[in-house]
Amino acid sequence: MADLEGNLEADRFHTDTPVAASTFHVKGAESYDYGMKHRLGRIFSPESGRTVMLAFDHGYFQGPTSGLERLDLNIAPLARHADALMATRGALRTSIPPSPGTPLVVRASGGPSILKDLSDERIAMDMSDAVRIDASAVAVQVFVGGPGETQSVYNMTRLVDAGINAGIPVLGVTAVGRELTRDARYLRLATRIIAELGAQMVKTYYCDEDFETVTSSCPVPVIMAGGKKLPVDEALDMAYKAIDQGAAGVDMGRNIFQRGNPDAMIRTVRAVVHEGLAPADGVEMYRDLSGGLVD
Ligand code: R5P
């Protein structure tokens, strides 16, 4: 165990120097097994190296939140625009048709509802069912610094072991309690722990200062979490900046499905993430596609 006293400030992030090129388009994945690469290759576009995930797994602790009242009506039509769907197995099996075959990132942790301590999660799905449902990855919350830290890290490492056996990558989600500050120092800590303990992808929040140090010091792809619904210009600006600062994609829920026109929004987010569309042009695109909305 390293001595925690007298640690030097970390400052050698080399944010201008990408990790040396490899033949596979997903960061850190060069030495993975074929099946793992094949699944990651479905999630991240070979052309841009990026992903637009649509998150609608909120029901696993929140119930039918706004925009997710009817998954069959509100969400299923959006699936064709996403590079991956982040959802529970229950939502997928009941409400999302297997066609058009959008890759699945299946929620594999759960337990407490919003009425309880959310950090007290356990593994909520066996890897054999991830195989059965054709998951391209499974997702698990990790509460670094929170009351559920050790248990949630344990959950993740168990899933990583099972995922390596099955060739299924794990998406570790940095879950930030109200008491923790979402600054770069914290996000570097959380994302690095998740990657070092074996997750092949990390989902985390954007922060206004030094986000590029979060992406540069994490050896696997960092996917920006959406968070609560923001005005369209702010949501697109955040996505643009995250990508510009090294994120490998976004995983957005409420900023898409709570919008006046979710179909227009996900198509606009795609243009920002995959084509580098500037946020101001994105607002125009959303306005055009939605018939005049700027919500
Ligand atoms: C995040 O921790 C959970 O996975 C959420 O249920 C979801 O993915 C959040 O999406 P958003 O914050 O973009 O609505």
Q: Transcribe 158-173 into DSSP letters.
A: HHHHHHHHHT--EEEE
Asked whether 242 and 205 are in contact (CB, 8 A), the reply is no
- What residues does ligand 1 touch, defined as CB less than 6 Å away? 55, 57-58, 86, 141, 173, 175, 225-227, 252-255
pLDDT of residue 53: 98
Number of residues that this document lists for the chain:
295
Asked if the model's pLDDT at residue 20 lies above 80, the reply is no
- For 79-109, the pLDDT digits (tens) are 999 999 999 999 999 999 999 999 999 999 9
Asked if the model's pLDDT at residue 178 lies above 80, the reply is no
Distances 128 to 85, 132, 199 between C-alpha atoms, Å: 19, 6, 18
Choose among 244, 236, 242, 238: nearest CA to 281. Answer: 236
Note if 203 is an active site residue.
yes
In a domain, 242, yes or no: yes
Residue 194, domain CATH: 3.20.20.70
Range of the domain at 238: 34-259
Q: How far apart are CA 30 and CA 19, in angstroms?
A: 12
For residue 25 the two structure tokens come to: 């388009």
Write down the mean pLDDT value for the chain. Answer: 96
The HSE-up count of residue 73 (CA atoms within 13 Å, CB side) is 4
Ligand 1 atom nearest to CA at 62: 6
pLDDT of residue 5: 77
In a domain, 264, yes or no: no
The burial class, CB within 10 Å (0-12 / 13-18 / 19+), for 39 is buried
Asked whether 28 and 195 are in contact (CB, 8 A), the reply is yes
For residue 109 the two structure tokens come to: 């942790």
pLDDT of residue 1: 60
* Cα(54) to centroid(ligand 1), Å: 9
In a domain, 109, yes or no: yes
| Residue located nearest, by CA, to atom 5 of ligand 1 | 58
Q: What average pLDDT does this structure show over 257-267?
A: 98
Choose among 89, 99, 104, 13: nearest CA to 51. Answer: 104
DSSP conformation class of 208: S
Ligand 1 atom nearest to CA at 141: 2
Token pair 């600062």 is found at 245
| Residue located nearest, by CA, to atom 6 of ligand 1 | 58
- For 203-255, the pLDDT digits (tens) are 999 999 999 999 999 999 999 999 999 999 999 999 999 999 999 999 999 99
> How many structural domains is the chain composed of?
1
pTM: 0.94
Asked whether 227 and 175 are in contact (CB, 8 A), the reply is no
Neighbours of 122 (CB within 10 A): 14
In a domain, 14, yes or no: no
The burial class, CB within 10 Å (0-12 / 13-18 / 19+), for 178 is exposed
In a domain, 270, yes or no: no
In a domain, 279, yes or no: no
Q: Which of 27, 37, 203, 229 is catalytic?
A: 203
In a domain, 294, yes or no: no
- By DSSP bridging, strand 109-110 and strand 122-123 are antiparallel
In a domain, 23, yes or no: no
Q: How far apart are CA 158 and CA 181, in angstroms?
A: 27
Q: How far apart are CA 157 and CA 195, in angstroms?
A: 10
Structure confidence at residue 18 as a pLDDT band (50, 70, 90)? confident
Asked whether 147 and 118 are in contact (CB, 8 A), the reply is no
